[in-house]
Amino acid sequence: MKIIAADVIVTSPDRNFVTLRITTDEGLTGLGDGTLNGRELSVASYLADHVVPLLIGRDPHRIEDTWQFLYRSAYWRRGPVTMAAIAAVDVALWDIKAKAAGMPLYQLLGGASRNGIMAYGHASGRDLPELFDSIRRHLEMGYRSIRVQTSVPGLNAVYGVASQPSTGGKRYDYEPAQRTALPAEEDWDTRAYLRHLPGVFEAVRNEFGPELPLLHDGHHRMTPIEAARLGKALEPYDLFWLEDCTPAENQEALRLVRRHTTTPLAIGEVFNTVWDYQTLIREQLIDYVRSAVTHTGGITAMRKLLDFAAQYQIKSGIHGPTDISPVGMAAALHLDLAIHNFGIQEYMQHGPATNEVFRQSFTFTDGYLHPGELPGLGVELDEQAAARFPYQPAYLPFNRLKDGTVHDW
Ligand code: CS2
Ligand code: MG
C-alpha cells in the first residue's frame, strides 16, 4: 500500500481545527488532529509546506519508521508545532492500519482493559449558587466526576468560568480562545485566589457530599510554595487531583510541592515529549500524566510515555478540552480503553457545528466514554460541511498582575 495524498483541512465550526487526511492507493483514508489553540496555522503550514511532500509514496503501515523519520529528519526536535504535526500524521496512520485490519483501533492497541472510560466535565460559577447549578447540570448530563472552577472576588475574569463577561455570559461550557484580533487581557491575584478557593471546596463538599470525585485546574498560576500551600489547604476536601499547580518547565519545582502536600497532582497538557516528564515521573512528583495525543506526537509517542509512567504507578489523565478535535478525542479514547494505567479522561463536549463537520461514533453513557466498534478511529470528516466554516483568527487570553506584570494565564 502507498500514500497517494495528504490533505490539510482547516475549518472553524465552533472553533478552529486543523485536520490531516491521508489517502492510500487502496482507497483507505486516515484522519489526524493537529490543532494547536491560538496557533493553528503554524501547524497547518508545517504539515502542508514541509511534511506532506515527505509522505507521498510512503508505506502507511510503517508507523514507527515514519514517526522516527519525521522526528529525526527535521533536525529541529520537540516543541508544540512539530509534535502536533507529527501527531496528526501518526494518528492518521493508526486510523488507516486499524481500518485495513478491519477493527477498532483499541483492538489493535491490545484490546479493552475496561468496559468504559471515566470522564470528567467542567463545572464553573461566578458564585456558589451558580457553581452548584453548573455541577447539578453536569450530573444530569451523566458526568460522575466534576472539575470545579470559580470566579475570585476582586478579579474581572478567571480561567475556566463559563458565564463571565469575556465569554458573553451565555455558554455553559468554557471556551478559552476568543475570535478577536488580539489576545484579551485578564487580571490575576494569587493571594486572593488562595484565600477564596478552599472555602469553595468546603461548600461543594457540604452540598454534594464526600464521594463525588472533584478536580481543579490551577492553570500554571502559582509559585511552588503557593502551590504547596493550596494543595495542603485542599487536603480536607479530598480532591481527585490539583492540575498544573505551578509552571513545570523546571520539573524540580514539584519537589517542594510534594514535600508539603498529599493532594494528587496532574501535569502535562503543555508538554510535548516524554523528556518533559523525566524528573516528574522518575521522582514520583506527579500522579497523572495530562498530555494530549494531539500535542505529544500521537499514539506512538503517548503509548511509550504512558508505559514509562506505568512503571511508577502514575496514571493517565488525558487532556480533552474542545480545542482537541473529535479526531484527537477519539484517538485518546482508543488509548484510554487499551492501556492498563488509565486514570480519568477530560471530556468537554463539542458544539453542534463541530459535530456536523466531524461524524463521531464514540459514546458517553452514564459517566463513561467508549470509542465505539467501527474500524479505525470511528470519526469521519464531512469536507463540504468543513468548507462552510473558514478559519477565523482567535487568541487565548493573557494575564497581568495588579502592577502590570505579565503572568501565566
Ligand atoms: C485547560 C484547557 O482543559 C484544561 O485543562 O487547561 O482548557 C486549556 O486552557 C486549553 O486547552 C488551552 O487551549
Ligand atoms: Mg488544564
* pTM for this model (two decimals): 0.97
402 found inside a domain: no
Could you tell me if residue 38 is inside a domain? yes
Kindly state whether residues 146 and 53 are assigned to the same domain. no
Q: Residue 220's closest CA among 260, 149, 269, 276? A: 269
- Which ligand is closest in space to the CA of residue 324? 1
Task: Write down which residue in 90, 108, 126 finishes a domain.
Answer: 108
| Per-residue model confidence (pLDDT) at position 171 | 46
Cα–Cα separations (whole angstroms), residue 342 to 87, 92, 169, 237, 278: 20, 23, 35, 23, 19
- Both 36 and 165 in one domain: the answer is no
Give the domain-ending residue among 71, 93, 108: 108
Is there a domain that residue 404 lies in?
A: no
State the residue range of the domain holding 14: 3-108
- The answer to whether position 316 is within a domain reads yes
User: The domain that contains 38 carries what CATH number?
Assistant: 3.30.390.10
Q: Are residues 97 and 213 in the same domain?
A: no
Query: Is the domain of 205 the same as that of 75?
Result: no
Render pLDDT for 38-95 as a digit per residue (tens, 0 to 9).
999 999 999 999 999 999 999 999 999 999 999 999 999 999 999 999 999 999 999 9
* Cell numbers standing for residue 340: 492498563
Do 90 and 148 lie in one domain? The reply is no
Shared-domain flag, residues 10 and 151: no
Cα 244 to middle of ligand 2, angstroms: 6
User: Are 169 and 103 members of one domain?
Assistant: no
For residue 347, the domain's CATH number is 3.20.20.120
How far, in Å, are 1, 99, 333 from residue 29 at the CA level? 12, 9, 20
For residue 314, how far is its CA from the centre of ligand 2 (angstroms)? 18
Which of ligand 1's atoms lies nearest the C-alpha of 321? Answer: 3
Which residue, 108, 126, 154, sits at the end of a domain?
A: 108
Q: What is the percentage of the chain residues whose pLDDT exceeds 90?
A: 95
Q: What span, in angstroms and rounded, lies between the C-alpha atoms of 133 and 377?
A: 35
Cα 320 to ligand 1 centre (Å):
8
pLDDT digits (tens, 9 = 90+) for 200-214: 999 999 999 999 999
**Residue 321 CB less than 6 A away from ligand 1:** yes
The model's pLDDT over 238-279, given as tens digits with 9 standing for 90+, comes to 999 999 999 999 999 999 999 999 999 999 999 999 999 999
Residue 345, domain member (yes or no): yes
CA of 62 to the centre of ligand 1 (A): 32
Q: Between the CA of residue 285 and those of 77, 121, 265, 275, 340, what are the distances in Å?
A: 25, 25, 8, 15, 20
* Contact present, 231 and 260 (Cβ < 8 Å): yes
**Hey, whose CA ends up nearest to atom 2 of ligand 1?**
321
148 belongs to a structural domain: yes
User: Is residue 381 in some structural domain?
Assistant: no
User: Does residue 235 share a domain with residue 92?
Assistant: no
Please tell me the residue having the least CA distance from ligand 1 atom 9.
176
Instruction: Note whether residue 293 is domain-resident.
Output: yes
Q: How far apart are CA 153 and CA 336, in angstroms?
A: 38
Q: What are phi and psi of 185, to 5 degrees?
A: -90, 130
Mean per-residue pLDDT over the chain, rounded: 96
Question: What are residue 260's phi and psi, to 5 degrees?
Answer: -110, -15
CB-ligand 1 contact for 320 (6 Å cutoff): no
73 Cα to the center of ligand 2, angstroms? 32
**51, 89 Cβ separation under 8 angstroms:** yes
Query: Can you tell me which atom of ligand 1 is nearest the CA of 290?
Result: 5
Q: Which atom of ligand 1 is nearest to the CA of 320?
A: 3
User: What residue owns the CA closest to ligand 1's atom 1?
Assistant: 321
Ligand 1 atom with the smallest distance to the CA of 217 is: 5
Same structural domain, 71 and 151: no
pLDDT in tens, 387-409: 999 999 999 999 999 999 999 99
Residue with the three cell numbers 516528564: 277
The pick from 319, 324, 329, 350 for probing ligand 1's pocket by mutation, whose C-beta has the most ligand atoms within 8 angstroms, reads 319
Q: pLDDT (tens digit, 9 = 90+) per residue, 212-245?
A: 999 999 999 999 999 999 999 999 999 999 999 9
Same structural domain, 166 and 296: yes
Q: Are 223 and 358 in a shared domain?
A: yes
Given the C-alpha cell 486516515, which residue does it identify? 30
Q: Is 323 in the pocket of ligand 1 (CB under 6 A)?
A: yes
Tell me, yes or no, whether 84 and 136 share the same domain: no
Q: What is the pLDDT of residues 347-379, one digit of tens each?
A: 999 999 999 999 999 999 999 999 999 999 999
Domain count for the chain: 2
